[in-house]
Structure 1
Amino acid sequence: MKNNKLYILAFLALAFSSCKKELDEININPNAPEVAQPDYLLTGTTKTTVDTYWGVTNNMNSSLLFAQQWAKVQYTEEDRFIFSNSSFTALWSTGYAQSIAGFNKIIEQGDAQGNPNYKGVGLVLRSWVFLLLTDAYGDIPYSQAGKIKQFVTPVYDKQKDVYYGILSDLKAAQAALDPASKAIAGDVIYGNNIASWKKFTNALRLRIALRIADKDATKAKQVIDELQAEGGAYISSNAENAQLKYDVSPQQNPVAASFETRNDYRISKTIVDKLFALNDPRLPVYASKTENTTPQTYVGIPNGSTNSEASAIGLANSSKPGTYFLDAKAPAVIFSYAELLFDRAEAAARGFTTENAEDLYKQAIRASFAQYNISGTAVDTYISQAAVQYDAANYKKSIGEQKWIALFGQGLEAWAEQRRLDYPQLTASVNTVLSGKIPVRFIYPGTEQSLNGQNYKNAVSSQGADLLTTKLWFDAF
């Protein structure tokens, strides 16, 4: 009797197991794969990341204001640095929940499929996201980030360690990327051209080497020496700029999308005045003519204006950003040839290379003009001006001011470089709330205090108060 019961129980267990397996198979949707294909994932994650980088919260409503390239003509609170701990959630939440998670999956699939190029591209783009995050916030989750099954509450790594970790990841990416290996698909930055990804990888390594140069010149030079020893190439023309080219609605540039329904932003008086002073041919590209006829044609709004002060200047008497930037198809630039040349000029000026800093500086300005199809004698005339000529005794001023102009529209990068080089020297409006200071970091999202409280407290204890005015590790002076 006992044996009969065991047989019955065994039969029922087997039947249940078989039914469960059949039910599991029935519940699988053959049209919805459980594992995303790397090409679709690469397209979607890249687009989401670039939209966040180029969009309202992290670009138009913060970093472009801090760098005094744009200003607000309506609802000017952000231009007066009135923010809360919910103001800077977009870069953090999208960066971790979507960008890093997505690129991690692409890296995993590259390994699983034996395709090193998916892995390499995933590493490069993930490194760029981590760079955006640490440049903005400082200490961030890095070593435990994106590993939700292992670390529900990831620790914050010190900014120095994040930079060093990214450099290591990019070196690994460079080794993985191989134009002769398996092809990839879904790449909306370089159209699946692995040789271009290798150049972009080196450009990012150079960018980070200079980011840390004032705090660890030895490490910075080591990175640049490695780049030279490897014999790898850099971005070598505007055709190789790392950028996402947008399309018509609903795939339009986030700037264009914002201006379809809002009218909050104008070009900053700071950069308009600078472009006028230098008789810079990029002014008509960067700024639109005022709607009403005005003596200057191009009129910037002073950063930090009150709502009433901005209103007194008027919507029709101030300049929107240029039509180039308002076009639905305008590209979101991640890394330009001009930036690469400025970086090489600075590396030479610091003695990290034996290249000619002045010559590279001039090439960088020419590359910036060419980016907007400006050529001819106007470029020569511009470069020959005393105010533009390279000053080897103060290379940070020469490179810093011209790089700031060239990075117009790239708010996060322009702001990072202005903090690092301390040029141009910007002045905060008396209307701002930071006692004459300009923000030097984003404050952490308030959700970190409730969801990752102890690690948040540890980061604040290590880095300094969670304030807009707490300088980050890379910002030495």
Structure 2
Amino acid sequence: MKRSTIFSGKYRLPAIAAGLLLAMTACTKNFDLYNTDNTGIPDKMLEADFYNLSYLKTATMAIYNFSGGGDPNSFQVQQNLNADCFSGYMASPTAFNGGRNNLSYFMMSSWNGEAFKVGYLSVMGQLAKLRASNIPKDFPAVWAVAQIVQVTAMSRVTDIYGPIPYSKAGTSKTSIDYDSQQEVYTRFFKELDTANITLRDFISSGKTLPFKFGDFDLVYNGDFTRWLQFSNSLRLRLAMHIIKADKATAQAEAEKALDPAKGGVITSNDGNMNVKVVGAGYTNPLVFIAQNWNDIQINASLQCYLTGYKDPRLAKYMSLSTDASIPKQYVGLRLGSITSSNSKSDYVGYSAINYQDGVFTLNTPVQLMTAAEVYFLRAEAALNGFNNAGGSVQEMYEKGINTSLDQWHAADANYINNSTNTPDAYVDPKNTQNNIDTPSHVTVKWVESATIAEKQERISTQKWLAMFPEGQEAWTEFRRTGYPKLFPVVNNNSGNTIDSKIQVRRLPFPQNEYNTNGAAVNKAIGLLSQPADNGGTRLWWDRP
């Protein structure tokens, strides 16, 4: 099979190699026929835009995967029925595959390749087209934003699978080698270095662009200073990811991110990284799935933390139950409790993301990073003795809580000082077999005399509450820190490959990669913490 190639500077994206396409029955000589995004924007529309900058819009939307035409099937298996549920945020009342699916640890190969495909086709593929234009040379600040978008998206992909093709993605070789996750992270930091320098130079020059970049910027409306602050915040996030695997690099990168001379980080909610919903037929895919398909509910873990703490964000995040057979209440659903014996109507009336009161709508921007998360990252940096955190651990922790409460217009002066409330035990009003004791006894109020582990649990638990509903990063943080403590799965159908207490650590490599890039995949398995391509294998940064 002949593999055509698009060449674009450092990286070249292959037509079929490295799993960039779904399995196909015929060869192709034209990469561009298949290197199309998952959001449904046709190339004809993109070509009409100045310098094809809509490729950047498409790639930005694909980070979270705005499937077009009101049909977010791709997002559903890219993230919603994986990370959103593994994070303790969501659970589904639908008995997909007779209840034997990822949510009961029976890892579905038909689901597990979607995040990989979207990352390469809809992000890297689109940015390769942009790279092939004159944008990198003529408008380097715009290309810097594209680099930041790529790191944002592909950091999520590597945090799902571990090793991925990155430095060699785009070569025309039959077998596209994978980089170890450590190598991928090293490259991320270098790419952010380049973007940071470019943005700072452009901002300090006082120059302007000869076109309205805000028309193509779905996040910051063309504000490069905001992009610079997000870039530094992203670097801080990635630095803290690797703190157990390589603390020296984590410290160096975190301190670089927090160095005021580098441009600063996100400090207020108007700097949150939220992707706008634009274009006919496009919606917030999470809200669509909850509102129109009733395929996703609130997870019991999240419910028990919110109700136990009497968290002021409770009524913002989740709705009251609508099942007439039980008293109206805030009640989540335990992961893995749906089996072949369940019909969808059994649990569809439990609490969902709160679209009923208009807190979440089909036009709600997609949240990818908040100022609150950054304050919690700074708290953890201070806890580890890193420089430039900007305050004490307690100051950053409390600032994170208050910033999140402000974001959700849920101010409560008493919440931060509560030293008695703890997460609730879970009580399933329909099935007592799902009942389980409280997952944790940690309280909200900061305790300076607490152990390091307890301090970490407070920081991570409140960060988890603040990051809702962004389940991909929440799942990463749960794996990295072990917090918050989540309820174990009710039914474990993994065949002993995933420990119910340790929970899912990654997704297996896509089946299409085995079909089209098998030799490289088998090498990549050797780069994992153990040579086992299953959901129980830890990633490089995921240390006990």
CA distance in 2, matches of 1:429, 1:41: 40
Q: Does 1:78 align with 2:102?
A: yes
* Matching residue of 2:147: 123
* Matching residue of 2:192: 170
The residue identity in structure 2 corresponding to 1:221 is Q
Residue of structure 2 aligned with 1:198, choices 228, 236, 239: 228
Report if aligned partners of 1:247, 1:328 keep a CA contact under 8 Å in 2.
no
* Matching residue of 1:342: 376
Q: In terms of Rg, which structure is larger? A: 1
* Matching residue of 1:419: 479
* Matching residue of 1:450: 515
Shift of the 297–260 alpha-carbon distance from structure 1 to 2, 3 Å rule, reads: closer
CA distance in 2, matches of 1:414, 1:348: 21
**TM-score with structure 1 setting the length:** 0.87
CA distance in 2, matches of 1:248, 1:102: 18
Q: Does 1:431 align with 2:488?
A: no
Report if aligned partners of 2:136, 2:142 keep a CA contact under 8 Å in 1.
no
CA distance in 1, matches of 2:283, 2:345: 30
Give the superposed CA RMSD: 2.6
* Matching residue of 2:462: 402
How far 1:325 moved relative to its partner?
Answer: 6.3
Q: Does 1:92 align with 2:120?
A: no
* Matching residue of 1:47: 61
Q: After superposition, where does 1:354-373 map in structure 2 within 5 Å?
A: 355-373=391-409
CA distance in 2, matches of 1:271, 1:414: 12
CA distance in 2, matches of 1:197, 1:462: 33
Shift of the 234–291 alpha-carbon distance from structure 1 to 2, 3 Å rule, reads: same
Report if aligned partners of 1:440, 1:472 keep a CA contact under 8 Å in 2.
yes
Report if aligned partners of 1:110, 1:119 keep a CA contact under 8 Å in 2.
no
Report if aligned partners of 2:46, 2:52 keep a CA contact under 8 Å in 1.
no
CA distance in 2, matches of 1:312, 1:88: 23
Shift of the 135–181 alpha-carbon distance from structure 1 to 2, 3 Å rule, reads: farther
The residue identity in structure 1 corresponding to 2:165 is P
* Matching residue of 1:321: 353
Q: After superposition, where does 1:258-277 map in structure 2 within 5 Å?
A: 258-277=289-308
The residue identity in structure 1 corresponding to 2:417 is S
CA distance in 1, matches of 2:344, 2:256: 55
* Matching residue of 1:211: 241
| Cα deviation 1:173-218 (Å, max 9, x = unaligned) | 0111123344335111111111110001000110111011111111
Structure 1 range deviating more: 348-357 or 290-299? 290-299
Shift of the 174–38 alpha-carbon distance from structure 1 to 2, 3 Å rule, reads: farther
Aligned partner of residue 274 in structure 1, secondary structure: helix
Query: Which stretches in structure 2 are left out of the alignment for 5+ residues?
Result: 1-43, 420-442
* Matching residue of 1:15: none
Higher helix share: 1
Aligned residues: 444
Q: After superposition, where does 1:79-158 map in structure 2 within 5 Å?
A: 79-109=103-133, 113-145=137-169, 147-148=170-171, 150-151=172-173, 153-158=175-180
Structure 1 range deviating more: 85-94 or 242-251? 242-251
CA distance in 2, matches of 1:264, 1:283: 21
Report if aligned partners of 2:318, 2:330 keep a CA contact under 8 Å in 1.
yes
CA distance in 2, matches of 1:362, 1:289: 28
The residue identity in structure 2 corresponding to 1:307 is T
Report if aligned partners of 2:162, 2:506 keep a CA contact under 8 Å in 1.
yes
Q: Does 1:252 align with 2:283?
A: yes
| Cα deviation 1:396-415 (Å, max 9, x = unaligned) | 20111111111221111000
CA distance in 1, matches of 2:375, 2:363: 26
Aligned partner of residue 527 in structure 2, secondary structure: helix
* Matching residue of 2:87: 67
How far 1:292 moved relative to its partner?
Answer: 3.9
The residue identity in structure 2 corresponding to 1:278 is Y
Query: Which stretches in structure 1 are left out of the alignment for 5+ residues?
Result: 1-29
**TM-score with structure 2 setting the length:** 0.76
Structure 1 range deviating more: 127-136 or 253-262? 253-262
CA distance in 2, matches of 1:287, 1:352: 36
* Matching residue of 1:467: 534
Report if aligned partners of 1:440, 1:469 keep a CA contact under 8 Å in 2.
yes
Report if aligned partners of 1:38, 1:118 keep a CA contact under 8 Å in 2.
no
How far 1:356 moved relative to its partner?
Answer: 0.8
